[in-house]
Chains A and B, each alone.
Chain A
Amino acid sequence: MTRTRTPGISRRSTLALMGAGAMSVATPWVARAQAKTIKIGMPTILSGRVAQLGTSSRNAVMLEVDKVNAAGGLAGRPIEMVIRDSKGQPQEAARVARELVNTDGCEWLIDGEASSGSFAVHEVARDLGVLCVHTNSEASSLTADPKQHIPNAFRCVRQGIHDSIVGGSYAAAIAKAKGLKKWATCSPDYAYGRDTTGEFTLYLKRFAPDIEIISESWPKLFQPDYTEVVTKILQAKPQALYSCLWGGDLTSYIDQANIYAMFGQMEVFAVNMADYTALTVVKNLPKGIHSGNRYIKTYPATPENAAWGDAYKAKYNEYPTNWSWQNATAVMFLAEAAKKANSTDGKKIAEALAGLTIKCPFGADGTVTMRGDDHTLVGYAIGWGTTIPQEPYVPEVKAGDWKTIFELEAEWKKSKGYT
């Protein structure tokens, strides 16, 4: 066989082309001088299946930022948000976060990523030492695990473990009152679904030890057809069902289970039901589904919360989501910390944030706290109630007890080897 060379483009030309390409890449990346405005970068999910939640995060942030700017900004510097889509891919989230800091000159980050993306942005914060507030990742390990801890990162989000403790004790009380001993579970088959369900049943059994789980179903995330799951549960004949399906999965599940009249046959506990993205989409919302509060403007039942929900609706013509209040709270925290530190220096803000308590419409007692030792949000309104088919959807919510949450959370941390 003869060895031959291709007669096409020479390597020299190719390299020249690549060089020209590199130059054109470099031009827009000339670092800009620091302005008087403070830029805050925010990677979040603006395309794909959960785009609605990412958009609601952006809306909430802008709602609060406008207020802060109208009041004179952060320590005299107006905020400029730079919000970009990460497509929900961790490598894109990491890239976008780095670009926001290194190229766009953002001094802080609000990390609007969920799940794996938040861990990717966390590594960027660790690497660059930039102040970072996670606003959408509910994975408890993000702040509970001491290996994850860095002084410049905070989490302003509800947490899986808190939800499970409150849900477990609420469900156990109802189980005792109504004699519900046989339980089934139905949750999406990925880390969030498995962990949350495991923790919920752990606390359910702790508060009501004679409960038995007789059937477990693990539909795939984003599964379109739940017939198989519904019939499996109906055949097992449980007295109660727990589910942490969310968003579109939960609404299609309910629509399909309605055909089999499932909701008349058992008590249903769906932690993610009381969120407008699910409540307003279900065709026939059954009465009496037990749900945790994600976000509803009637809980906490304060004029501040109702006003905030209405202001959001007035501006964006839709109700806020669970992600919305978390992001709004993050901006409130940053504004208060800047006031306290009278500075926009990331380090000083981080010091001010640790242990900071602020007034907030979403607090259980009108305030929320950024706990000092693990940099995570506590004291937010958390409770369970039952649904009705029209507004206000969940008329009465039984509040969770933060004292119990703290005790059991400390125990849980110990059992995980985190403390």
Chain B
Amino acid sequence: MTELEAGRARTLLPVRGGAMLLRYRDVMIALIAFAVLASLPLFTGSKALLDFVIRCSAYGLFATSLNLLVGYTGLTSFGHGMFFGLGAYSFGLIMQKLSVPIPVAFVATLAITAVIAAGIGAICVRLKEIYFAFVTLAFQMLIHSTILSWASFTGGDQGLRGGIPRPAFFGVDLANHVHLYIASCALLVLGLLAMRQIAQSPFGYTLRMIRDNAARASFLGIDVWRAKLTVFVLAALFASMGGMVMALFVSGAYPEFAYWTISGEGIFINMLGGVSTFLGPMVGTVLLLLLNDTVTRFTEYHGIVLGVVILFFALGLRKGLLDFVADWFSHRRDAGEGR
């Protein structure tokens, strides 16, 4: 959003109903979204639909976290999938080897991801554009190769076998499909809400400024390197959460989770959904999974179909779906107001 648009936004959206309501609007929407998702099993017995939402949670968290880097900070990471894989493997290994309660493994996985992301980020965020993209890709391949070669610990190319144990905690039994579904929805909604808060905070606007003009941000006294590193680590944490949801869904972790194709899918999702709206990647996730699931039902030539779709978005719309819709709405409003 440019400064001009920002100014218009203030005139267009006068504070109605007080600041309190506005402040908690995101929280309210999150609560409603969670209530709607959580009540789905009451209306439908379709396990496939629940599976679909669980996978949307995993990929949605991953893709939205990637958008924190791509859309908000202008850091196009080609290696974001490494944190997806890292989350899945750390969580799976902790549960298999240490048999601790799930919340402990969850927090421990986030801690491990944060440490590794800080290390990798410290090296990567010094670089710009294509150099940043390729160094992140290099680190991803490093992690992928480590998983493959450290077979005694990670199971090598056959992945973590034997299933991930899921002892019940606080009355939540993740071996139960509906419990797993609700837990995934909760993680998705909480994750999105947290990322929304990050994006809308002063820190989030600092990121936009860095994206638009890093030199100016630097002159204004912002430590660009530190801000980039912070968002790199934060994004890694949410990607790792996505990885954990996926590990729970397939009851295992496989080297493919840390392969570059996962990062590619993340970029693809962002292109489909759009990077200039917060929910763009979420829309992209739903679109991609929907396309994948329907197309693979009918043909093994899904590559052609997905290719045509991405061409349509790249050459036809020239932006993601939600970006396109958002533009269309604002054009219509502008026309309506006679501007």
From A8, A21, A99, contact of B277 by CB (8 A) = A8
Partner of A190 from B9, B32, B148, B329 at Cβ < 8 Å: B148
Which chain B residues numbered 247 to 283 have a C-beta less than 8 Å away from chain A?
249-252, 254-257, 261, 276-277, 279, 282-283
Residue pair B255, A116 in contact (C-beta under 8 Å): yes
Asked if B33 is at the interface (CB within 8 A of a chain A CB), the reply is yes
With A8-B326, A126-B163: A119-B300 Cβ-Cβ less than 8 Å: no
**Residue of B151, B161, B205, B276 with most chain A CB atoms under a 10 A cut-off:** B161
Q: Is B128 an interface residue (CB 8 A)?
A: no
Q: Does B157 contact A (CB under 8 A)?
A: yes
Residues on A with C-beta less than 8 A from B8 are: 7
Interface: A381 (CB within 8 A): no
* Pair B296/A84 contact, Cβ less than 8 Å: yes
Q: How far is the CB of A374 from chain B (nearest CB, A)?
A: 15
Confirm or deny: A9 has a beta carbon within 8 angstroms of a beta carbon on chain B.
yes
**What residues of A have a CB within 8 angstroms of the CB of B51 in the complex?**
95, 98-99, 102
| Cβ contact within 8 Å between A6 and B250 | no
A21's nearest neighbour on chain B, judged by CB, is B286
Residues of B within 8 A of A126 (CB): 163, 251
Contact indicator per residue, chain A 136-178, by CB within 8 Å of chain B (1) or not (0): 0001010001011000000000000000000000000000000
Contact A18/B249 with A8-B330, A99-B48 known, Cβ cut-off 8 Å = no
- Stretch with Cβ within 8 A of B (4 or more), from A24-32, A285-293, A391-399: A24-32
On chain A, the residues within 8 Å of B159 by CB distance are: 90, 116, 119-120
Given that A123-B250, A191-B158 are known contacts, is A102 also in contact with B9, CB under 8 Å in the complex?
no
Is the C-beta of A69 less than 8 angstroms from some C-beta in chain B?
no
- A90 and B252: CB pair below 8 A? yes
B158 close to A139 (CB less than 8 A):
yes
For A22, what are the chain B residues with a Cβ–Cβ distance below 8 Å?
40
Please tell me the size bucket of the interface on B.
35 or more
Q: Which residues between 5 and 20 of chain A lie within 8 Å of chain B, taking CB atoms?
A: 5-9, 11, 13-15, 17-19
Please tell me which one of the listed residues A30, A116, A141 contacts residue B254 in the complex, with CB atoms under 8 A apart: A116
**Cross-interface CB contact of A14 among B12, B32, B252, B322, cutoff 8 Å:** B322
Chain A residues near B205 (CB, 8 Å)? 1, 3
A positions within 8 Å CB-CB of B: 1-9, 11, 13-15, 17-19, 21-22, 25-26, 28-31, 46-47, 51, 84-85, 87, 89-92, 94-96, 98-99, 102-103, 115-116, 119-120, 123, 126-127, 139, 141, 145, 147-148, 190-192, 194
A-B contact pairs, 6 of them (CB 8 A): A7-B333, A14-B283, A94-B250, A99-B48, A99-B293, A102-B48
The 6 closest A-B pairs by CB, nearest first: A8-B326, A46-B300, A102-B47, A90-B254, A191-B156, A103-B48
